[in-house]
Structure 1
Amino acid sequence: MKLTQEWLAQLPLTGIEEVRPVDGGDINQAYKISTSTSRYFLKVQPENNANFFKHEINGLQNLAKVVVTPKVIASGTIENAGYLILAWLDFKTGNDAELGRAVASVHRLTAPQFGLENNFIEGTLPKINTWQANWADFYVNQRLEPLVRLAKQKRLWSTQRERLVKHLEEIIYQDSRTRKITPSLLHGDLWRGNVAFLKDGRPVLIDPDIFYGDREMDLAMTKLFGGFSADFYTAYNTAFPLPENYQKRVAWYQVYYLLAHLNLFGEQYGSSLDTVLIEAVK
């Protein structure tokens, strides 16, 4: 979708001087907008509407209770395209220890149950967030199984994957009977591309996919796709100590994220999924 002058004129901004495409991920078109007085980050969803961004706005506002997030300026729909305007932030290299402490502060925000007040079904992957008292019920039925069904529809499944996932689900249910799990606020997509640092060194969390779940799920995601430095985990564990055996559950939660990538990008993630599935059921 090309942003025309007529389309831009309908944004709730005045004095637009420059609109420049920037990197915004695989889902949205993204732009830097400069006006006579300020700068903004614009996300656009062609053939969608403002409802697409409600989940992200909710996430940013919840995370902002304890960490820095981009300020939401406005959202809406123009000519069958949803948009979200955020304040522009200038980033620099930062300290992973500060990031670890920031993530720990997010995880200390809790809820009585697992889930969230709203589902997110406008995206490519469904996020069913119905509240559950039991973590295994939430993770198995509202995270793993919807992606398994989608993979089957896309012919990305196999008998081996089915067998391993069913075994993993049994293990997760067994674990939930003995381990006390507190529903923590999760970023939901905590990889290196969704964190940044301000010029003063403060960490910034962007592109959230929040819900209340096992905090170990966020940490499992940090260990995929390059991972974070040892300083991150040391600082996190000092601020909010983890169980000594939490490492054995890392693969359980990486299965979800690799299932997501399998559905989004195809069999190029199949071998990684298979490897982690085998690790998860050891």
Structure 2
Amino acid sequence: MTIPPSLIDALAAVLDAPPHDVRPVHGGDISRAARFTADSRPYLVKWHDRPPTPPPGWPDLFTAEAQGLARLTEAGAIRVPAPRAFAAAQDDCPAYIVLEWIETGHGDRREAGVKLGHGLAALHRVTAQAYGLDHGNYCGATPQANGWMDSWIAFYAERIDPAIYFGDREAELAMCHLFDGFPADFFRAYDEAWPPAAGRDDRRPLYQLYHLLNHLNLFGEGYGGQVDAILRRYVG
């Protein structure tokens, strides 16, 4: 993978050093990504040739991502990569965001799961006076409205699940269960730090429904069976 020349120029300008040692980074479906080095520091850059058009008054895709990371950093519960630069698409340069590169850990998986579980519980204890956020953002490339609401049920019914927002902690835990990416120690540690409310397991499929519908829309009928099973569970 090569970074577009126009983006190379933009990165050199914002970092005061030319990018080199570029390596592709895989795993995402929305943007292209690469690790690179500039002035002896490693970075991650993500870029998008045709980012979604922001609704009126909304930040663009990568501005919203930077704002979300800033919110998570302010909470002080879990380390997240710090944004170094971001910009909307201009002329022949794609939209991009440059992030601090955090190396993958090679320590004990159980210890990491426990630390993350405790950290997520601490993050969920950071609350607001209402549900939502002060700006819209995105789930992948899908624009998602926030807008403060006093009722969690109304918010979830109308706003669904933006990328970062103040809401019910069970919604995030349900997503963690959905694709089996988290170890059992993570969930045990979370419940140790903040025990579950009664009925959580019964509500989990309802919180997973939106993400399955989103995947059905993006990737096709492979997710249809899971969607149908949840609908039958709640509406017959």
TM-score (norm 2): 0.84
Contact 1:258–1:272 under 8 Å retained in 2:
yes
Shift of 1:238: 1.5
Count residues with an aligned counterpart. Answer: 219
Contact 1:217–1:250 under 8 Å retained in 2:
yes
User: What is the match of residue 9 of structure 1?
Assistant: 9
Q: Which amino acid aligns with 1:249?
A: R
SS in structure 2 of the partner of residue 211 of structure 1:
coil
User: What is the match of residue 240 of structure 1?
Assistant: 194
Contact 1:24–1:43 under 8 Å retained in 2:
no
1:10-49 equivalences under 5 Å are 10-11=10-11, 12-13=14-15, 14-48=17-51
* Cα distance in 2 for residues equivalent to 1:115 and 1:234: 28
1:70 is aligned to 2:65: no
Q: Which amino acid aligns with 2:231?
A: L
* Cα distance in 2 for residues equivalent to 1:267 and 1:273: 10
SS in structure 1 of the partner of residue 213 of structure 2:
helix
* Cα distance in 2 for residues equivalent to 1:86 and 1:124: 19
Match for residue 68 of structure 2 among 59, 62, 86: 59
* Cα distance in 2 for residues equivalent to 1:99 and 1:121: 24
1:127 is aligned to 2:144: yes
1:220-259 equivalences under 5 Å are 220-259=174-213
Shift of 1:112: 0.8
User: What is the match of residue 275 of structure 1?
Assistant: 229
For the structure 1 residues 112 and 6, does the alpha-carbon distance in structure 2 shift closer, same or farther, using more than 3 Å as the test? closer
For the structure 1 residues 6 and 129, does the alpha-carbon distance in structure 2 shift closer, same or farther, using more than 3 Å as the test? closer
* Cα distance in 2 for residues equivalent to 1:121 and 1:225: 20
SS in structure 2 of the partner of residue 85 of structure 1:
strand
User: What is the match of residue 56 of structure 2?
Assistant: none
For the structure 1 residues 138 and 111, does the alpha-carbon distance in structure 2 shift closer, same or farther, using more than 3 Å as the test? same
1:117 is aligned to 2:134: yes
User: What is the match of residue 103 of structure 1?
Assistant: 120
User: What is the match of residue 172 of structure 1?
Assistant: none
* Cα distance in 1 for residues equivalent to 2:140 and 2:188: 34
Q: Which has the higher contact order (CA 8 A, sep 6+)?
A: 1
Shift of 1:107: 0.2
Contact 2:61–2:141 under 8 Å retained in 1:
no
Match for residue 155 of structure 2 among 115, 118, 138: 138
For the structure 1 residues 10 and 227, does the alpha-carbon distance in structure 2 shift closer, same or farther, using more than 3 Å as the test? closer
Identity, % of aligned positions: 35
1:253-282 per-residue CA deviation (whole Å, 9 max, x = no partner) reads 011111111111121111111112223457
* Cα distance in 2 for residues equivalent to 1:6 and 1:223: 40
SS in structure 2 of the partner of residue 9 of structure 1:
helix
1:90 is aligned to 2:103: yes
Contact 2:34–2:44 under 8 Å retained in 1:
yes
SS in structure 1 of the partner of residue 143 of structure 2:
coil
User: What is the match of residue 261 of structure 1?
Assistant: 215
* Cα distance in 1 for residues equivalent to 2:8 and 2:211: 36
Shift of 1:103: 0.5
Shift of 1:2: 5.7
Contact 2:23–2:34 under 8 Å retained in 1:
yes
TM-score (norm 1): 0.71
User: What is the match of residue 184 of structure 1?
Assistant: none
Which runs of at least 4 in structure 1 moved beyond 6 Å after TM superposition? none
Structure 1, unmatched stretches of 5+, are: 145-187, 189-208
1:15-43 per-residue CA deviation (whole Å, 9 max, x = no partner) reads 32222221150001101111242111000
Contact 1:72–1:86 under 8 Å retained in 2:
yes
SS in structure 2 of the partner of residue 212 of structure 1:
coil
Aligned CA RMSD, in angstroms, stands at 2.3
